[in-house]
Amino acid sequence: MQVREIFETMEWGPAPESAAEALDWIARHGGRFGLFIGGRFTEPGVAFATKTPATGEVLAEVTQASVAEVDAAVAAARAAQPGWAALSGHERARHLYALARGVQRQARLFAVLETLDTGKPIRESRDIDVPLVARHFSYHAGMAQLMASGMPGRVALGVCGQIVPWNFPLLMLAWKIAPALAAGNTVVLKPAEWTPLTALRFAELCRQVGLPEGVVNIVTGDGAVGEAIVAHAGVDKIAFTGSTEVGRRIRRATAGTGKALTLELGGKSPYIVFDDADLDSAVEGLVDAIWFNAGQVCCAGSRLLVQGGVAEVFHAKLRARMDRLRVGDPLDKAVDVGAVVDPAHRARVARMVAQESEGEVWHAACPIPETGAYYPPTLITGLSPASPLMQEEIFGPVLVSGTFRTPDEAVHLANDTRYGLAASVWSETLNLALGVAPRLEAGVIWVNGTNMFDAAAGFGGLRESGFGREGGWEGMLAYTKDGGETKPLVPVAPMTGEAGQQGLDRTAKLYIGGRQVRPDGGYARDVFGAGGRLLAQVPAAGRKDVRNAVEAARKANGWAQATAYNRAQVIYYMAENLSARAAEIADRLDAMTGTGEGAAELEASVGRLFHWAAWADKWEGRMKPVPLRGTALAMRAPVGVIGVFCPDESPLLGFVTCLGAAMAMGNRVVAIASEPFPLAATDFCQVLETSDVPAGVANVLTGTHADLAPVLAAHMDVEAVWSFSSSDVSGAIERESTGNLKRTWVNHGRARDWAGAAGESVAFLEAATEVKTVWVPWGE
């Protein structure tokens, strides 16, 4: 077709990108690749084929790593890590900057390889993926430079095992490797079985820029290789991006091991269009939201919610736009939608759509290639919120749609999902858009836009979309730990004695929903003092008591909407009322523990409540310097309902530390009192009753930590569980948290200095908040 003919018809002509250089690179390796271990490629071993989904042709054969080869990769990373961490931040920054420049120099080769391997359009690989890869390495070069001053006291975790998906193989590699290296860690990375080529080309780049041997290791293969990395005792952190179900299996496998873990999992992201939105812009945004990378995007705006008054008009505009999409050869620069990653995945998408009987299915009228793994852009309307396709991730070029009437209903429908990765809000009314955005349960929210990413802005999810952030300071934090030394925690046994007459009955109760209540099971246990004297009896809480406490906490969600100033005033009042009862409670501490330090612990507890009250309106978010005519606001949002197993070594100070930090950030708490010294918490309930704490914000249970840990950790209405118990419950909490993939913060048997800096660390505030990134463009 001649240029003149194109102008006459106004049809896009083909604009093919040459694959010659990428294919020559594969040919120079004989079409077969080994593993990258210790700075060198191994000889190719037992291999599998990687194919281009556009035609089904074999691109290369790639080695299936063995367990022994995974061991070798971890050993190489372990040997290299001390030396890499010992480099100055400036020296690590130079290496990272060299990687960024190397990606830029080889940008077209990386883009073509990515398109050949994944089937995504070359425009996306060239204009989005590869530039973002360079951006991440450049940004984290700066992070390496600033780590010592910007993150004082933080050190590298060690060896990081990283498993990346097939939808953004090179970009996800950069998201994970760049912060890990910046912080001083070394890496063993497994690319997806379907899309390993750009990771192998990146391995070559590591050699070319002189990265020390063993700092980056690439092992290829199927899920068995990933399992070997996850299970390896020499790995200190696992970072995984992929499906929610695999994320659950990884959480179970790492439970109790002490490995750090971040998971970026699936999503069913809402795309909300209000009746005052610029409908044409919203349609164009939707094209990027769901047909970008053929819908194979974890944060794809795959769940369209349109205000009822404009739904018919909007759907008509959308169908007309769908018919004009170009589906075809992903190496054609004029193509909008390429192939899905594999025929097996295409069959899965088709099967899910074929099973839908409720809605109206519309396939775009655009031509579809007869060969290759292509699926037509699809819209399904008229679905109820409970429809399987409105709830389940399709991960293909399929958009499902429903309607809403009011902003409150839009928020309710948007949050009616087990996921919480991303969301988009479209409205020309500023108050409406910015009023709705923070109410959405998602880690990333775009206002009048979609699929905006930058290395400076943290990305990650809530709920079953995983935990942890990638990018920004929050992403760097996930690759570091506190450099202070900790000691093993010695289990604290309860005092013993002989049951006898108490005199005045001092049977404590549970504190649930603002009231002192008896336990459902009707059992109590004796609490003896240091001299063997019976001090009181406390309830033995059970499963139903946990349920009641969590229900009370859920109902108290107004606490999260209270101003930070108001929360601070309540916590200050708690401190005042605790101080007013100082002598009585200090005597009780001495009677329980026999240490004679009750007065000092009580005074420290009053000070600790003041500390968290002071932080309530000072734990700030950030305005991220993203490349946008606008900004990305990293907002600090409360986690929700937090279950806490309180420490035994400082029963009152540890209790008020956890309770105060969580409350200051707007959370509601179900606290399990110290098992050997529970009266520290039950006496404090009287302080709660007189301190204007709304019912349900603070709930206190007593009982056996080992019995209550799996119950609280498995509860689907609890968003996080902390444990500082001297009982061995860390593993149980991590295992049982997999149901809704709640966040966990456990001690793995390590002690904390509750009276020192560790007791008032901002780590409590980090654990008590989620970072929600709201992207706000401005201007015409």
Classified as helix, coil or strand, 68 is helix
d(CA 609, CA 564): 15
Query: Which of the residues 17, 114, 227, 298 is marked catalytic?
Result: 298
In one-letter notation, the amino acid at residue 261 is L
Q: H or E element: which one contains 502?
A: none
- Give 595's DSSP letter: S
Write out the DSSP string of 37-60.
Answer: ETTEEPPP-SEEEEE-TTT--EEE
Classified as helix, coil or strand, 727 is coil
The tokens for 695 are: 């019912």
Residue ranges of alpha helices (H) inside 223-273 are 223-231, 244-254
In one-letter notation, the amino acid at residue 299 is C
For tokens 């009780």, name the residue. 588
Classified as helix, coil or strand, 736 is helix
Q: H or E element: which one contains 342?
A: none
Residue 298 is a catalytic residue:
yes
Handedness of CA 663, 665, 666, 670 (dihedral sign): negative
d(CA 94, CA 99): 9
For tokens 């919610």, name the residue. 305
In one-letter notation, the amino acid at residue 739 is G
Query: Which of the residues 264, 470, 649, 734 is marked catalytic?
Result: 264
Write out the DSSP string of 383-403.
Answer: --TTSHHHHS---SSEEEEEE
d(CA 303, CA 320): 19
d(CA 443, CA 743): 14
In the chain, how long is the greatest CA-to-CA distance? 104
d(CA 412, CA 565): 28
Write out the DSSP string of 149-196.
Answer: HHSTTEEE-SEEEEE--SSSHHHHHHHHHHHHHHTT-EEEEE--TT--
Contact 689, 679 (CB under 8 A): no
CB atoms within 10 A of CB 57: 11
d(CA 213, CA 204): 12
- Give 129's DSSP letter: I
The tokens for 631 are: 């900004």
Contact 770, 666 (CB under 8 A): no
Contact 556, 694 (CB under 8 A): yes
| Residue 349: alpha-carbon gap to chain centroid | 26
For tokens 């419950």, name the residue. 729
Beta bridge partners of 188: 161, 217
Positions annotated as catalytic residues are: 264, 298
